[in-house]
Structure 1
Amino acid sequence: MTILALAALMATPSPLRAAPTYYWAIPGHNFVTTTSENRPFHFLNRSGNSLDDIEQLTLARPQHVQAIMLDSTESAIACARAWLQPIHALGQCGQPAGFFRSVLFWDSSRLTAPPHWAALWDVARYPGQRAFFRGPRLTLELALLADGVPPKKIYAQLSTSAGIDRAFHKLSQLRPYIIWWRSPAEAYHILQEQTVLMGITPSAIILSPQTRNTLARPYQAQMKNILYSPAVWSIPATLPAEKSSETRKILLTGPPRLASIPDPMPTESLEISDSFWATHAIFLSERFNAWLAQSPPPAP
């Protein structure tokens, strides 16, 4: 079920006052593995991924979302703005839920060998459009990986003015070729409707047979090049107290989860740093939006 479908359902009058159904909201096209306790979870695919969408969903009245899956930066911002309920004694609003996986993908009918990060910028050898996430998180890391920075040194670079400038300079080189997506639903639509050569996308779009068979081209995932982003469950601020208590207990004992990071992790992959983005998210978001607002250079 989607957010729009839920809104329509809530707006439809019912002659019977049945107990409401509560949903666990996840970004579209993400694999979720339920716990061994086999509780009857009702999942809701949320298509919006902006802070405005998160605010609207977490402050809805009446509230029919029991828990919402966010990345750790979104959860920290929403928690600070009182859109979420604390789960832990220190006021933290997020409970670990595994990892979102964003994979490097390519059109296997046009590229005979799997690409690596640097190939994203090689438009002379590989002309064509690229799909990127429209935001600093994931995207700045990706720029430095493509520029030859080893995964273990990414955040040391991004913690300096020179490293940030380096990442934005790298992005500017590729900008005329980038198609931006804001949510998994938008990424899926791009790959379904357009002939993108390569890029970064949520893994489930490429790996799920149900979605892969509907894409415009025979896209494949490069499983050595993955960005792992910590996911957390959070409780909306307007969820009733009794349901909040039940949800908190589930979150602390056995919630649904995404996949974990493999051990060992592929050497060209990267775990997105929670601590870095907790400190730098606001500043880098402002700089990214200002960079986007500038007139892009023309394609060569």
Structure 2
Amino acid sequence: MTFAQSLAPRLLAATAIMALGLAACDSGNNDAAEAPATPDAAVAGATPDTPIEDATQSTETTLTIVSWGGAYTKAQIEGFHKPFSERTGITIQSEDYDGNIAPIKAQVESGNVVWDAVDVETAEAVRLCDEGLTVPVDHSSLPPAPDGTPALKDFLPGTLFECAVPISVWSNVFAFDASNYPETAPSTLDDFFDLETYPGKRGLRKIPKFNLEFALMADGVATEKVYEVLSTPQGVDRAFAKLDTIKDEVIWWEAGAQPPQLLADGEVVMTSAFNGRIFNAQIAEKQPFEIIWDRQIWDLDLWVMPKGGKNLDAAMDFVSFATSTEGLAGQASWIAYGPSRKSTLELVGTHAEYPDVDMKSHMPTTPERLANGLQNDFEFWADYNDELEQRFNAWLAQ
């Protein structure tokens, strides 16, 4: 896929997600454009017309489902794993990882695939498919919406990929402990880079993705120009130069559970984080954390199935349930990530454990939060990740 081919779906996705946010605020109808058709490459042996409840693998099958751990995996266990196992008798073994897709490549190439379905980010989903490491999916076989709308029309446009099925919209944001700022609290991306006004340690994820974009936006690059600038050597230099201004004050994190812990322990005064992890700390742990939504970078999480898996039929049944209208609503009642299906919105209400918490109001997909946000460019990172990762690691070692 070329950049030009991917641009239109991405714009449609942004428009549809904006519509989703509007609906979240006023409960109106979502009239987003239809999703583009995708290749009809079905998973071998899949039987889409068979109800999930009638799956034949039952108790003889154990699926290893891999995700990001912490509050996010808890939401998936409650929303996906438990109801799926109750309906099918299939056992789910949950495993955490840090987003590194090297184990998938190693498993496929060795012929010893032990991960049945993996939750990945968009760029990694594209790379894995391009390298032939994950199986294609026939999206027309996925469950329709409750009103009969086909899955191809129900998923947000531009979110379906040849070898992946979208789960949710999540966001990279900045967060701080409000108790540290009784008077003037930070409120913008620029404040994160302002060590004079807001001194103290910062937390950043130990990868180039997102950090380079944040750096350019903080240096004055408009959101719509970020990837155009970052695709040039001068733009890369500019991003690293901006990161240089805070490098000595950065504590690097790798797992999603670390940012709220860094804040709680007082090791940092501000940190980048996944919005859902901060939400969980706010609601479940009663932490006085606040989110800076200014110029958030939003992305998708998607299910992929490694090629050569021993339980592909059962894995496809799981993915179908975990991306159904009902399944996505289950996850959305536990964590503040926007569902990837339009039909799920009307099912999203209050938190499963805290009924006074309106989940829609905490989603990254509200209009005001999307207004100056940046959608992660999966094509850019699929093309430039290796090169920029080498540059990033060399920069860290300096």
TM-score range normalised by the length of the shorter chain: 0.7 to 0.9
Which residue identity is paired with 1:85? V
Which residue identity is paired with 1:293? A
Which residue identity is paired with 2:206? R
Query: 1:66 touches 1:247 (CA, 8 Å); kept in 2?
Result: no
Q: Residue 272 of structure 1 corresponds to which residue in structure 2? A: 376
Q: Residue 338 of structure 2 corresponds to which residue in structure 1? A: 259
Q: 1:52 to 1:212 in 2, by over 3 A?
A: farther
Matching residue within 150, 156, 181 for 2:253 = 181
Which residue identity is paired with 1:231? D
Q: 1:60 to 1:130 in 2, by over 3 A?
A: farther
Which residue identity is paired with 1:79? C
Q: What displacement does 1:169 show? A: 0.6
Q: Residue 297 of structure 1 corresponds to which residue in structure 2? A: none
Q: What displacement does 1:40 show? A: 4.3
- The answer to whether the aligner puts 1:127 opposite 2:199 as a matched pair is yes
Q: Superposition pairs for residues 197-208 of structure 1, below 5 Å?
A: 197-208=269-280
Q: Superposition pairs for residues 43-82 of structure 1, below 5 Å?
A: 44=94, 46-55=96-105, 61=112, 63=114, 65-82=115-132
Q: What displacement does 1:71 show? A: 0.5
Distance (Å, rounded) in 1 between the aligned partners of 2:338 and 2:169: 6
Q: 1:158 to 1:40 in 2, by over 3 A?
A: same
Distance (Å, rounded) in 2 between the aligned partners of 1:60 and 1:201: 35
Q: Residue 233 of structure 1 corresponds to which residue in structure 2? A: 303
Query: 1:192 touches 1:214 (CA, 8 Å); kept in 2?
Result: no
Which residue identity is paired with 1:227? I
Count how many residue pairs are aligned between Structure 1 and Structure 2: 273
Distance (Å, rounded) in 2 between the aligned partners of 1:145 and 1:43: 41
Distance (Å, rounded) in 2 between the aligned partners of 1:26 and 1:153: 32
Q: 1:189 to 1:74 in 2, by over 3 A?
A: farther
Distance (Å, rounded) in 1 between the aligned partners of 2:247 and 2:255: 19
Q: What displacement does 1:156 show? A: 1.6
Which residue identity is paired with 1:110? N
Q: Residue 356 of structure 2 corresponds to which residue in structure 1? A: none
SS at match of 1:184: coil
Matching residue within 9, 20, 23 for 2:61 = 20
Q: What TM-score, normalized to structure 2?
A: 0.59
Q: Residue 286 of structure 1 corresponds to which residue in structure 2? A: 390
Q: 1:86 to 1:251 in 2, by over 3 A?
A: farther
Q: What displacement does 1:171 show? A: 0.7
Q: What displacement does 1:60 show? A: 8.7
Q: Residue 9 of structure 1 corresponds to which residue in structure 2? A: none
Q: What displacement does 1:158 show? A: 0.9
Matching residue within 160, 163, 172 for 1:102 = 172
Which residue identity is paired with 2:311? P
Distance (Å, rounded) in 2 between the aligned partners of 1:149 and 1:187: 26
Distance (Å, rounded) in 2 between the aligned partners of 1:86 and 1:179: 39
Q: Residue 164 of structure 1 corresponds to which residue in structure 2? A: 236
Q: 1:104 to 1:252 in 2, by over 3 A?
A: closer
Which residue identity is paired with 1:141? E
Which residue identity is paired with 2:172? S
Task: Point out the more displaced range, 104-113 or 129-138.
Answer: 104-113
The CA deviation string for residues 207-259 of structure 1, in whole angstroms up to 9 with x for no partner, is 115776286xx322123442202222101232434324535655786564741
Which residue identity is paired with 2:119? M
Matching residue within 222, 230, 233 for 1:150 = 222
Which residue identity is paired with 2:292? Q
Q: Residue 5 of structure 1 corresponds to which residue in structure 2? A: none
Matching residue within 206, 211, 219 for 1:139 = 211
Distance (Å, rounded) in 2 between the aligned partners of 1:34 and 1:44: 13
Q: What TM-score, normalized to structure 1?
A: 0.76
Q: Which has the higher strand share?
A: 1
Distance (Å, rounded) in 1 between the aligned partners of 2:260 and 2:227: 29
Q: What displacement does 1:174 show? A: 0.9
Which residue identity is paired with 2:338? A
Q: Which has the higher helix share?
A: 2
Distance (Å, rounded) in 2 between the aligned partners of 1:66 and 1:265: 38
Distance (Å, rounded) in 2 between the aligned partners of 1:43 and 1:114: 41
Which residue identity is paired with 2:378? D
Query: 2:206 touches 2:252 (CA, 8 Å); kept in 1?
Result: yes
Q: Residue 93 of structure 1 corresponds to which residue in structure 2? A: 163
